[in-house]
Amino acid sequence: MVCSGPKVAVATYNLYWWCISNQFGNCPQFAVGTGFNQLYERISANPVDLIGFQECEDVEQVTAGAGLVNFGYYSTPRGNDAPMAWSLARFKVIEGPASEWVAQDSYSSRWLNWVRLLEYDSNDVIFFANTHGPLGQCTGEQGKKVAQGYLRSIWRHLKPRDTVIFTGDFNCRILDQTLVTLRESLQDCAWDTVFQAADHIFSGHGVGLCSQERVDGAPSDHQFLKAVLLPHGGPKPPKPKPKRQNKSALAPHGCPEAPSNGPCCRHCGSNRFCPSNGGCYADGQQGCPTATCNPVSKELLLL
């Protein structure tokens, strides 16, 4: 099937704010605005029409710094770190933006943020949603409950003929129940390859996938995940498949090989938490002066 017609470029991007901002003084490599400047360059180098952010404390600062001068955005309430932005050249807000509570974890409430956007050229409406999912609530009945919370929020505000695009860092692995349940109602158009597929771009059924791209997201520890979608048909997204762990690709103690940014481990040289500056780094990344691998401090590593 040919991918022709009005396309929408979408991205989801976790900004790693606590470290990029050197919020706790433990990411000196990003001090005095260095991290933000690198972040702005990453965003401006990857133009899109819609973007969902996570770990973003000031979306106005980010859109201005990245040169997104003709973008609207939803500046979410304090404690809701998943704002979103959209091209004003392509879209007009017709409802929202707004937030709905989905879950609570040890750090904060978790929200689904949404806006209904009218596309000028096609007169179609896109229901654009974004989230930063709760920690430790991905499996079993709890995982299903979280997914159902997302879906209820979407269906509550969705209008007939709206096209759903749903971005986020769900803090779950690709075959966890939260994502399995979401895939029963939505298409999974793109997912990351760094955090065991925590980041996703979902769409409603019938939306075509023209392309997907996993861009190095540095200075963030997440990838910049992009997808070009065709709202009214086109190639169908691939379905996720179980991936067997290749033992030969693991470090001696079962830790992911660099440049993985996966969970830190206690005894490996690939991924490590550095007590000297409080960062979690893979081999080859700047900022980790020691080969000691320690457990992650929950007070510092805010996922």
pLDDT tens per residue across span 99-128: 999 999 988 999 999 999 999 999 999 999
To the nearest whole percent, how much of the chain has pLDDT over 90?
71
Which has the minimum average pLDDT: 114-118, 145-149, 173-177, 262-266? Answer: 262-266
> Is 3 within the bounds of a domain?
no
Same domain, yes or no, for 218 and 248? Answer: no
Same domain, yes or no, for 218 and 249? Answer: no
To the nearest whole percent, how much of the chain has pLDDT over 70?
79
Q: Is the pLDDT reported for residue 251 higher than 50? A: no
Which two three-digit tokens encode residue 207? 């939306």
Measured distance CA(237)–CA(137) in Å, rounded: 26
pLDDT tens digits, one per residue of 197-209? 999 999 999 999 9
pLDDT tens digits, one per residue of 57-113? 999 999 999 999 999 999 999 999 999 999 999 999 999 999 999 999 988 999 999
- Cα angle 202, 115, 58; round to 5: 95
The per-residue pLDDT for 243 is 54
Among 174, 281, 278, which Cα is nearest to 270's? Answer: 281
Q: Which domain holds residue 293?
A: 244-298
State how beta strands 84-87 and 71-74 pair: antiparallel
| pTM given for the model | 0.80
Alpha helical stretches, state H, 66-176: 140-157
The per-residue pLDDT for 258 is 41
Same domain, yes or no, for 220 and 261? Answer: no
The per-residue pLDDT for 264 is 46
Measured distance CA(206)–CA(187) in Å, rounded: 9
Q: Which residue has the higher pLDDT, 200 or 301?
A: 200
Same domain, yes or no, for 158 and 39? Answer: yes
The per-residue pLDDT for 240 is 81
Among 183, 229, 178, 238, which Cα is nearest to 208's? Answer: 229
The per-residue pLDDT for 236 is 79
Last residue of a domain, one of 190, 205, 230: 230
Same domain, yes or no, for 50 and 79? Answer: yes
Same domain, yes or no, for 201 and 115? Answer: yes
Q: How many domains does the chain have?
A: 2
**DSSP code for 60:** H
Mean pLDDT for 252-276 is 42
Mean pLDDT of the chain: 84
Same domain, yes or no, for 91 and 122? Answer: yes
Greatest mean pLDDT among 51-55, 194-198, 273-277 lies in 51-55
Q: How many CB atoms lie within 10 A of CB 184?
A: 9
Helix (H) or strand (E) holding 178: helix 177-183
Instruction: Give SS3 for 143.
Output: helix
Measured distance CA(216)–CA(163) in Å, rounded: 28
Among 10, 14, 108, 21, which Cα is nearest to 53's? Answer: 14
Question: Scanning the structure block, which residue is given the tokens 């490599």?
Answer: 29
Q: Is the pLDDT reported for residue 250 higher than 50? A: no
The per-residue pLDDT for 242 is 61
Cis amide prior to 77 (ω within 30 degrees): no
Question: Scanning the structure block, which residue is given the tokens 């209008």?
Answer: 159
